[in-house]
């Protein structure tokens, strides 16, 4: 059989996601292995992981317990469908996940990613209202600057223009709350800003405009991560919750980043004492090892959808890999590590130190804001005139050359290391980042 001789460059074929592809090929940043707090680059250099991969490797890399659990699982039950059949692990894991989250959040729908979790949560919200005879509630409300993944549902409720503008008309019937980023009021806040709770009141305006009988759900990230680390103003989420309650609107928290320890608790909902009706999760669930997400639904939602269904299958939705046995094993071992090593508590204990070290960078050149929540810090640099994102990009590249993986959103550096990081490694990470910022033009 003839083989195609199409490509001259072995790297040509991978169309990389959310990457400047042509620029990457000129100067690739390649990692080939990882353990605990470090990656190893293709040329054998150790890189301190300042981003937990992509906000997901909360337990640290290549933890033997997870590796062994995954290897054993694939040998025992490589795959099992979750449509009309089941396997014990998926039921056990669902129960364990439910026990991580507060209140009646105790029915778990498995997905494979954060994007799928978001779209699933939106669909559950619509199904819930239909099941209660309120099928006119179809409107979904997101927020400016929100990142809810890349499905059509997620980009519709999302609020990042670049992620939306190429993709047509998106979902109909979506509106957006204002974002909460207001440097003139809350720059350099330590943790949650004092200013901004009143921005939640915009939901009242939308209710007046659209009528509550048309609104199904509001979705927000408790802390917006991918748009540059925006912790919620104090009292903001409480106000959203109260307005949702007043009008029978469901509140969905997208906790794809914040769940599983990132903010020093099982979830932002738990940390802040604000209870959503639906929660979207992924990332930290398996510490990034095997793709898996989960939507956790309040008992009233599950009950209504399953008990009021006119058809034997109550909810026409699912993925071939929902509750995949290998992912289940990875999640189970990950939750074991979180519990055995008290990693959520550890994150809570490290937070004040992490906050101090982050805010020590405020007098460096071009720094215009520093924001933090839990084990997340955003360091915003002034954009170069006419070249938004260039300074950030160079910061990432320089950090890579000097021994750390950091993440950038335009000109904001986002740091969110694995929760096993030591204080010495926090110092090392921020020292390296400080050096990079000093040397950047
Ligand atoms: C808040 C939030 N929602 C959804 C997603 C999408 O997750 P995934 O990339 O796994 O689809 C992300 C990813 O960063 C996220 O931060």
Given a contact cutoff of 8 angstroms between Cβ atoms, the answer to whether 418 and 61 are in contact is yes
Is residue 379 helix, strand or coil? strand
277 pLDDT higher than 90: yes
Other Cβ atoms within 10 Å of 31 Cβ, number: 16
Choosing from 110, 114, 153, 414 the residue with most ligand 1 atoms within 8 A of its CB, the one to mutate for a pocket test is: 114
Provide the pLDDT for residue 31.
98
pLDDT digits (tens, 9 = 90+) for 380-409: 999 999 999 999 999 999 999 999 999 999
pLDDT digits (tens, 9 = 90+) for 77-90: 999 999 999 999 99
Provide the pLDDT for residue 12.
84
Other Cβ atoms within 10 Å of 212 Cβ, number: 18
pLDDT band (50, 70, 90) for residue 5? very low
End-to-end C-alpha distance for the chain, whole angstroms: 54
Which residue do the tokens 């409480």 mark? 238
Cβ-based neighbours of 274, under 8 Å, separated by 6 or more: 222, 237, 238, 240, 241, 268
Rounded distance from Cα 412 to ligand 1 centre (Å): 18
Q: Which atom of ligand 1 is nearest to the CA of 56?
A: 14
Q: Which atom of ligand 1 is nearest to the CA of 226?
A: 16
Domains of the chain plus CATH, in order, are 21-63+342-439 (3.90.1150.10), 67-340 (3.40.640.10)
CA–CA separation, 238 and 25 (whole Å): 46
Whole-model pTM over 0.85: yes
In terms of Cβ atoms closer than 10 Å to its own Cβ (0-12, 13-18, 19+), residue 2 is exposed
Provide the pLDDT for residue 9.
65
Q: Which atom of ligand 1 is nearest to the CA of 257?
A: 16
Mean pLDDT (the chain) is: 96
Ligand 1 pocket, Cβ-based, cut-off 6 angstroms: 55, 113-115, 118, 147-149, 221, 225-226, 254, 256-257, 282
Q: Taking CA 361 as the corner, what is the angle to CA 358 and CA 366, rounded to the nearest 5 degrees?
A: 130
Choosing from 52, 118, 373 the residue with most ligand 1 atoms within 8 A of its CB, the one to mutate for a pocket test is: 118
Provide the pLDDT for residue 3.
44
pLDDT band (50, 70, 90) for residue 330? very high
Provide the pLDDT for residue 2.
43
């Amino acid at each position: 059989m003839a083989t195609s001789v199409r490509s001259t460059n072995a790297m040509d074929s991978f169309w990389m996601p959310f990457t400047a592809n042509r620029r990457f090929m000129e100067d690739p940043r390649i990692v080939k292995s990882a353990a605990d707090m470090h990656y190893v680059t293709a040329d054998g250099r150790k890189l301190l992981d300042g981003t937990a991969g992509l906000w997901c490797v909360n337990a640290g890399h290549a933890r033997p317990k997870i590796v062994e659990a995954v290897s054993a699982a694939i040998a025992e039950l490589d795959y099992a469908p979750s449509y009309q059949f089941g396997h014990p692990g998926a039921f056990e894991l669902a129960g364990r996940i439910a026990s991580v989250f507060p209140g009646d959040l105790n029915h778990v729908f498995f997905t494979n990613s954060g994007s799928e979790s978001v779209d699933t949560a939106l669909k559950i919200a619509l199904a819930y209202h239909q099941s209660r005879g309120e099928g006119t509630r179809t409107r979904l409300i997101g927020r400016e600057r929100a990142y809810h993944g890349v499905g059509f549902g997620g980009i519709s409720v999302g609020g990042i223009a670049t992620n939306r503008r190429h993709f047509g008309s998106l979902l109909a019937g979506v509106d957006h709350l204002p974002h909460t980023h207001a440097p003139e009021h809350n720059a350099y806040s330590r943790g949650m800003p004092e200013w901004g709770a009143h921005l939640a009141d915009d939901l009242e305006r939308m209710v007046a405009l659209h009528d509550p009988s048309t609104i199904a759900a509001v979705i927000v990230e408790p802390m917006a991560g991918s748009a540059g680390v925006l912790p919620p103003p104090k009292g903001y989420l409480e106000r959203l919750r109260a307005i949702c309650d007043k009008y029978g609107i469901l509140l969905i928290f997208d906790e794809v980043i914040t769940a599983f320890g990132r903010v020093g608790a099982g979830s932002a909902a738990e940390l802040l004492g604000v209870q959503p009706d639906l929660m979207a999760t992924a990332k930290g669930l398996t510490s990034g090892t095997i793709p898996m997400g989960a939507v956790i639904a309040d008992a009233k939602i599950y009950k209504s959808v399953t008990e009021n269904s006119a058809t034997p299958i109550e909810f026409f939705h699912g993925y071939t890999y929902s509750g995949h046995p290998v992912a289940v094993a990875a999640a189970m071992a990950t939750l074991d590590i979180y519990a055995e090593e008290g990693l959520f508590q550890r994150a809570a204990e490290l937070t004040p130190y992490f906050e101090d070290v982050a805010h020590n960078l405020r007098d460096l050149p071009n720094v215009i804001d520093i924001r933090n929540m839990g084990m997340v810090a955003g360091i915003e640099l002034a954009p170069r005139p006419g070249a938004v994102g260039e300074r950030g990009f160079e910061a990432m590249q320089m950090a890579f050359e000097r021994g750390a993986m950091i993440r950038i959103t335009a000109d904001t550096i986002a740091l969110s290391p694995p929760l096993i990081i030591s204080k010495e490694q926090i110092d090392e990470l921020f020292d390296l980042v400080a050096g990079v910022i000093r040397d950047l033009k």
